[in-house]
Amino acid sequence: MQPGEGAINPKVGGPGTRQDPADWLELRRMVRFGDTDAAGVMQFHQLLRWCHEAWEESLERFGIAAAEIFPTPAATPARALPVVHCDADYRRPLVCGAPLQIRLEPQRLEASSFEVAYRFTSEGREVARARLRHVAIDPTVRQRQALPDVVERWLAASAPAASSASAAPVEPATPPAE
């Protein structure tokens, strides 16, 4: 079996158990003191770091080893997946100790690119949204390449039809009271 094939993760449900896409698309974390600024709220750049970390964790939970995607001292994958676009919208302030739920919504764009939309909620309320777009390239010549097979499998298994049943309702964002 190829890595990531069939969305098998031996840590969840035992070997040979097919996972629900929510297992790798719905993640949790806590806002830590180091994530905040002098005013005690999440520093703006942390959101994009959380996005990338959530993507890495999602791949791992799906069954794709980090070394298949990211370079290590021992090996460099045949394709790099640099971020070529990012954007973020901040809806509510986040403070130290706030619980976060992160929902990933990956989408294949072309044979060589995909993007992941991220929805951040805390206590049932949307607090932020973000998006990262990746392009597959040959790291040596910096030319576009087809997405790696393991990423294609992750994208296919993560398609909305595969995960729509697990999406939980979220209270719409409203501007904070002044």
User: Cα(62)–Cα(148) distance, rounded to whole angstroms?
Assistant: 15
Instruction: Give the pLDDT confidence of 75-98 residue by residue, as tens digits.
Output: 899 999 999 999 999 999 999 999
Helix (H, G, I), strand (E, B) or coil at 40: coil
Query: 145 near 136, Cβ under 8 Å?
Result: yes
Residue 132 inside a domain? The answer is yes
Task: Please confirm, yes or no, whether 89 is among the known catalytic residues.
Answer: no
- CB atoms near residue 40 (< 10 Å): 11
Which pTM was predicted? 0.80
Is 128 among the domain residues?
yes
The Cα–Cα gap between 79 and 72 comes to: 13
Quote the CA–CA distance of 118 and 104 in Å, as a whole number.
5
Q: Does residue 1 fall inside a structural domain?
A: no
Q: Considering the domain boundaries, does residue 11 fall inside one?
A: no
Domain that holds residue 70: 20-162
CATH number at residue 147: 3.10.129.10
- The confidence band for 63, taking pLDDT boundaries of 50, 70 and 90, is very high
Amino acid letter, residue 101: Q
Active site residue: 20, 23, 35, 37, which one? 37
Domain membership flag for residue 63: yes
